[in-house]
């Protein structure tokens, strides 16, 4: 009995992406240390470690062929940077100029794509690692190529290990990314269920804000999963990739249905306070959230998925509750019960989509399974992407200029004060200086506390374990901890990397002498980064909130156009529709992120936070109404009300355009248009006597019409608090 339990535990560990990543890093660092000890060249471990770390930081998910190509580019960039540092190191002025230009150019390379952003960042890190190694061996009589070659050996070793790993376990990252999607989707459904809390005075807006933030996390997980699948599709994808692609499409469909809103929740709670119907909706959503988490676990462990019978009973209970309410024959409930009926139908279809994940064959034959390729198609395309970002209005340009000046300032400071181990100042500035104030401030605190803890642990371990072999083992384990925590627990990661440095450098010197300089240098580097993010083209979120809000509304407008175009022929999950849907959710996530970052900024530059949060809620509510339209894309038969639908779409689109221009360009909004309410009332009246398909479209369009007024009001408040300086043109839909 114990052996099967042990195997099951190993299988669960193997399913965790953190464990797999940590295992790969352990093999890389452990093998380097073992070879160095076996050959009696322990002094070589530190620079090889640093090369390994730089390459691991540059790693992005891809197929083994893609990783091999990325490794070739990475090693070329690393070699050029390392030898350039070696050549310019004796000439401080030239080195400072080269550092500034390299920081700016490499940061701008991030405009090409995530892969090149990671390679550029890793190249900058390796450049400074080279200076640290040269500074550490300033008194040694080494050759010109010593530091660069040792760093490249470490980078090449980890890169080859990563390529081999990707070839042996090609589907594992896809499984882990898809599992994360469904796990996050389960959390989203749990939060959505909270909106159906059958109590009066429910703080719907606060829950909407939390839901919008979780939606941002879900959108990010979907984007990562999409790129992971796309990189492995090739010209003839294998059956497993086809299955994972189908699971991805299921997740997209479930997300659209889960984000749907069929009526204001506070109205439903007030009217049906004495009924159990909202409780039935809430329970069904909670059960479906649990089903998503079970599906995530089955994908992780590569086990068959069984949805279970619990949601079927919950659906039946919801139907019985609705039938009971309909039997009351209350005319004032008529429209609300129709919306609840549409909600019940939507949840039933959502349940069926989750159930389809248990099918043995999830092929995508007969469907549009194409994915949009966002990578550059040519060298010219890559240069064009960089060129478009070469403007002070671009956040990337601001960050690139800020980082290059901050690194140069750190380099000047270390020469002015003749700091011991002074290049840690520059390295700290590189790690701490982030694209916005909130992220930088968080990093400053975490970096300083993590360094202090790491130095304290290092002092303790150096004292308790004077044996160099034991210290080597501690260094390897610290490296594993660093990579397993660097994205989610940066304070712990900083402590781990500080411990690794102390243990590694003690192999060739006295690390006790590094403790105080490392703390002082960290403080100086963090201070420089903090000053830079405030004084050098600060990217205050409040000043660009209008642009982000306009982009979100423009994406919603395009999403509406795609949805209504499908009511002529019925649901088609083609690439154009999926792009419009994903863009709408991406823009909603970007708006949520911008508002969250703005809340971390100093009070004297922060804009009207109440208006910003209110706009986020109103915009997310609008997206919910649109998602409900998208979830019920049944073909409409010809009807006399089709002209009213077309008229409404045109008027709503025109109203959105006016708000978009106001948010993006600062144009004044016209007075309130009374026809909006009249049109909404006309839509409600027209929906009283028609078929179910038309009724749902008319009802949702009425909700969207009524959302234009609050959207206009909050946009006016947002613009009245915002200085119209950097006006940004939003491309017309």
Q: Which two tokens stand for residue 118?
A: 């990671």
Q: pLDDT tens across 410-419, in order?
A: 999 998 887 6
Contacts of 41 (CB under 8 A, 6+ apart): none
Residue 720 pLDDT: 66
Residues in CB range of 331: below 8 A, 6 or more apart: none
Structure confidence at residue 733 (pLDDT): 35
Q: What is the pLDDT of residue 1?
A: 44
Closest CA to 432 of 412, 415, 409: 409
Residue 501 and residue 570 share a domain: no
Please state the three-class secondary structure of 75-118 as a single string.
HHHHHHHHHHHHHHCCCHHHHHHHHHHHHHHHHHHHHCCHHHHH
pLDDT at 732 (0 to 100): 37
What pLDDT was estimated at residue 640? 62
Q: What is the pLDDT of residue 674?
A: 74
Check residue 310 and give its pLDDT: 87
Instruction: Pinpoint the alpha helices (H) of 632-674.
Output: 642-665
Dist. CA 453–CA 458, nearest whole Å: 8
Q: Give the angle 530-536-542 at the CA atoms, nearest 5°.
A: 85
Same domain, 326 and 404: no
Cα dihedral sign, 56-62-68-74: negative
Least confident of 292-301, 398-407, 524-533, 670-679: 670-679
- Give the pLDDT score at 5: 63
Paired tokens of 40: 């009696």
Listed residue (106, 94, 105, 96) closest to 426, CA to CA: 96
Structure tokens at 496: 């781990």
pLDDT class of 730 with cuts at 50, 70, 90 = very low
Cβ neighbours of 375 (radius 10 Å):
15
Identify whether residues 159 and 183 lie together within a single domain.
no
Residues of the domain holding 474: 17-168+392-535
What per-residue confidence (pLDDT) applies to 727? 42
Q: What is the rounded distance in angstroms from the CA atom of residue 399 to the CA atom of residue 397?
A: 5
Q: Compute the distance between CA of residue 593 and CA of residue 602 in angstroms, rounded to an integer.
A: 17
| Cβ-Cβ contacts under 8 Å for 123 (sequence gap 6 or more) | 54, 58, 74, 77, 78, 81, 102, 106
- CA–CA distance, 426 with 478 (Å, rounded to integer): 22
Does residue 177 contact residue 225 with C-beta atoms inside 8 Å? yes
**Farthest CA pair distance, the chain:** 95
- Compute the distance between CA of residue 610 and CA of residue 212 in angstroms, rounded to an integer: 16
181 pLDDT above the threshold of 90: yes
Residue 139 has a pLDDT of 45
- In the chain, pLDDT over 70 holds for what percent of residues? 92
Question: Residue 572: its pLDDT value, please?
Answer: 79
pLDDT over 90 (residue 258):
yes
Of 356, 384, 405, which residue is a domain's last? 356
pLDDT at position 725 is: 39
612 in the same domain as 485: no
Asked if 625 and 704 touch (Cβ cutoff 8 Å), the reply is yes
Report, in angstroms and rounded to the nearest whole number, the Rg of the chain calculated over CA atoms.
29
Residue 143 or 312, more confident? 312
Average pLDDT, the chain: 86
> How much is the average pLDDT of 279-300?
92
Cα–Cα dist 247/255, whole Å: 12
Burial class (CB in 10 A: 0-12, 13-18, 19+), 192: buried
Distance separating alpha carbons of residues 297 and 180, to the nearest angstrom: 9
Domain boundary among 356, 378, 404: 356
Instruction: Give the Cα separation of 341 and 392 in Å (integer).
Output: 51
Give residue 173's region: left, alpha or beta (phi > 0; psi -120 to 50).
Answer: alpha
The whole-number pLDDT of residue 440 equals 92
Q: How far apart are CA 125 and CA 669, in angstroms?
A: 48
Q: Do 199 and 312 fall into the same domain?
A: yes
**Helices 239-258 & 204-230 angle (0-180, nearest 10):** 160
Give yes or no: residues 194 and 317 share one domain: yes
Does a structural domain hold residue 269? yes
159 and 200 in a single domain? The answer is: no
* Least confident range of 318-322, 354-358, 570-574: 570-574
Q: How confident is the model at residue 554 (pLDDT cuts 50, 70, 90)?
A: very high
Q: Are residues 120 and 163 in the same domain?
A: yes
**Residue 4 forms part of a structural domain:** no
Note whether 295 and 178 are same-domain residues: yes
Q: Which two tokens stand for residue 88?
A: 């310019």
276 and 407 co-located in one domain = no
Q: In the predicted model, what is the mean pLDDT of residues 444-452?
A: 94
pLDDT(728) > 50: no
Alpha helices in 465-539 (DSSP H): 468-485, 490-505, 512-535
Q: How far apart are CA 262 and CA 703, in angstroms?
A: 8
Residue 1 lies in a domain: no
Decide if 176 is inside a domain.
yes
CA gap 634, 89 in Å, rounded: 68
> Closest by alpha carbon to 533, among 457, 441, 646, 459?
441
**Are 661 and 669 a contacting pair, CB within 8 Å?**
no
What number is the average pLDDT over the span 582-586?
93
d(C-alpha 243, C-alpha 248), whole Å: 9
Percent of the chain with pLDDT over 90: 42
pLDDT (tens digit per residue) in 433-445: 999 898 999 999 9
- pLDDT exceeds 80 at position 228: yes
**Residues 132 and 194 both lie in one domain:** no
Q: Which of 484, 518, 535 is the last residue of a domain?
A: 535
Q: What is d(CA 89, CA 73) in angstroms, rounded to the nearest whole number?
A: 24
Is residue 724 over pLDDT 50? Answer: no
Which of the four pLDDT bands, split at 50, 70 and 90, describes residue 28? very high
- Is position 468 within any domain? yes
Identify the CA nearest to 699 among candidates 638, 639, 651, 632.
632
Asked whether residue 362 is assigned to any structural domain, the reply reads no
How many H-runs (helices) and E-runs (strands) does the chain carry?
27, 0
Tokens of 649: 């779409």
Structure tokens at 389: 């970002």
561 and 634, same structural domain? yes
Q: Is residue 567 within 8 Å of residue 636, measured between CB atoms?
A: yes
Q: Residue 66 burial by CB count (10 A; 0-12/13-18/19+): exposed, middle or buried?
A: middle
φ, ψ of residue 149 to 5 degrees: the values are -65, -40
Q: Provide the CATH number for the domain around residue 255.
A: 1.20.58
Within-domain flag for 562: yes
For residue 382, being part of any structural domain is answered with no
**Helices 114-136 + 64-88 axis angle, to 10:** 40
User: Residue 117 — pLDDT band, cuts 50, 70, 90?
Assistant: very high
Nearest to 46 by CA among 177, 134, 115, 111: 134
Alpha carbons 529 and 534: distance in angstroms, whole number: 9
The pLDDT value given to residue 455:
94
Rounded CA gap, 330 and 177, in Å? 48
How high is the pLDDT of residue 284? 93
Which residues have a Cβ under 8 Å from the Cβ of 535 and sit 6 or more positions away?
none
pLDDT for 590 equals 92
Alpha carbons within 13 A on the beta-carbon side of 642? 10
pLDDT score, position 267: 83
- Residue that wins the pLDDT comparison between 371 and 633: 633
How many domains, the chain?
Answer: 3
Give residue-wise pLDDT tens across range 360-379.
555 444 455 667 767 777 78
Tally Cβ neighbours within 10 Å of residue 274.
6
Do the beta carbons of residue 233 and residue 252 sit within 8 Å?
A: no
Of 599, 580, 577, 576, nearest to 588 (Cα)?
580
């Amino acid at each position: 009995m114990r052996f099967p339990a042990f195997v099951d535990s190993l299988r669960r560990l193997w399913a965790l992406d953190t464990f797999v990543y940590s295992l790969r890093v352990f093999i890389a660092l452990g093998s380097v240390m073992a070879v160095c000890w076996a050959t009696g060249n322990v002094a070589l471990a530190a620079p090889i470690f640093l090369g390994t770390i730089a390459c691991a930081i540059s790693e992005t998910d891809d197929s083994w062929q893609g990783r091999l190509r990325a490794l070739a580019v990475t090693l070329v960039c690393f070699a050029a940077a390392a030898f350039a540092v070696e050549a310019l190191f004796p000439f401080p002025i030239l080195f400072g100029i080269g550092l500034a230009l390299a920081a700016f150019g490499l940061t701008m390379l991030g405009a090409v794509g995530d892969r090149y952003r990671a390679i550029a960042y890793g190249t900058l890190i390796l450049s400074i690692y080279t200076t640290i190694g040269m500074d550490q061996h300033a008194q040694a009589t080494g050759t010109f190529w010593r530091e660069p070659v040792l760093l490249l050996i470490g980078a090449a070793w980890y890169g080859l290990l990563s390529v081999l790993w990707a070839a042996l376990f090609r589907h594992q990252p896809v499984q882990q990314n898809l599992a994360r999607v469904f796990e996050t989707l389960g959390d989203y459904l749990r939060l959505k269920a909270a909106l159906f809390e059958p109590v009066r005075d429910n703080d719907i807006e606060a829950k909407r804000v939390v839901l919008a933030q979780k939606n941002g996390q879900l959108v990010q997980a979907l984007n990562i999963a999409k790129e992971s699948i796309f990189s492995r599709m090739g010209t003839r994808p294998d059956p497993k990739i086809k299955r994972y692609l189908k699971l991805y499409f299921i997740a997209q469909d479930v997300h659209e249905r889960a984000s749907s809103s069929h009526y204001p929740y506070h109205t439903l709670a007030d009217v049906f306070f004495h009924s159990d119907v909202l409780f039935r909706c809430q329970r069904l959503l909670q059960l479906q959230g649990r089903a998503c988490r079970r599906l995530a676990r089955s994908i992780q462990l590569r086990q068959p998925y069984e949805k279970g019978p619990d949601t079927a009973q919950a659906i039946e209970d919801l139907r019985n509750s609705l039938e009971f309410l309909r039997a009351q024959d209350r005319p004032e409930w008529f429209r609300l019960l129709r919306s609840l009926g549409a909600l019940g139908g939507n949840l039933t279809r959502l349940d069926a989509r989750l159930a389809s994940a248990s099918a043995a064959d999830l092929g995508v034959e007969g469907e549009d399974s194409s994915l949009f390729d966002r990578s550059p198609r040519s060298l010219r395309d890559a240069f064009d992407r960089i060129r478009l970002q070469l403007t002070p209005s671009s956040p990337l340009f601001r960050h690139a200029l800020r980082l290059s000046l901050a690194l140069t300032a750190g380099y000047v400071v270390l020469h002015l004060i003749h700091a011991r181990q002074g290049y840690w100042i520059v390295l700290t500035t590189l790690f701490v200086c982030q694209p916005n104030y909130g992220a930088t401030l968080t990093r400053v605190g975490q970096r300083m506390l993590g360094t202090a803890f790491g130095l304290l642990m290092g002092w303790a371990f150096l004292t308790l374990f004077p044996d160099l072999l034991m210290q080597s083992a501690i260094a390897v384990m610290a490296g594993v901890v660093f990579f397993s925590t660097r994205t989610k627990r940066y304070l712990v990661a900083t402590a781990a990397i500080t411990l690794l440095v102390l243990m590694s450098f003690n192999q060739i010197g006295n690390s006790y002498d590094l403790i105080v300089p490392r703390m002082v240098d960290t403080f100086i580097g963090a201070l420089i980064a903090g000053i830079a993010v405030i004084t050098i083209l600060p990217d205050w979120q409040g000043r660009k909130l209008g642009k982000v809000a306009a982009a979100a509304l423009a994406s919603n407008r395009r999403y509406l156009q795609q949805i209504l175009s499908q009511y002529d022929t019925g649901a088609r999950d083609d690439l154009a529709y999926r792009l419009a849907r994903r863009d709408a959710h991406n823009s909603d996530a970007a708006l949520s992120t911008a508002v969250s970052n703005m809340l971390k900024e100093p009070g004297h530059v922060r804009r009207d936070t109440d208006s910003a949060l209110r706009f986020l809620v109103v915009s997310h509510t609008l997206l919910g109404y649109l998602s409900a339209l998208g979830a019920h894309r049944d073909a409409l038969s010809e009807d006399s009300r089709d002209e009213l639908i077309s008229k409404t779409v045109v008027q709503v689109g025109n109203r959105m355009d006016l708000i978009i221009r106001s948010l993006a360009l600062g144009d004044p909004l016209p007075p309130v248009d009374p026809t909006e309410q009249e049109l909404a009332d006309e839509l409600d009246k027209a929906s009283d006597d028609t078929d179910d398909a038309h009724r749902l479209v008319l009802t949702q369009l009425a909700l969207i019409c009524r959302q234009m007024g609050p959207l206009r009001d909050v946009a006016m408040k947002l613009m009245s608090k915002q200085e119209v300086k950097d006006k940004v043109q939003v491309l017309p839909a």
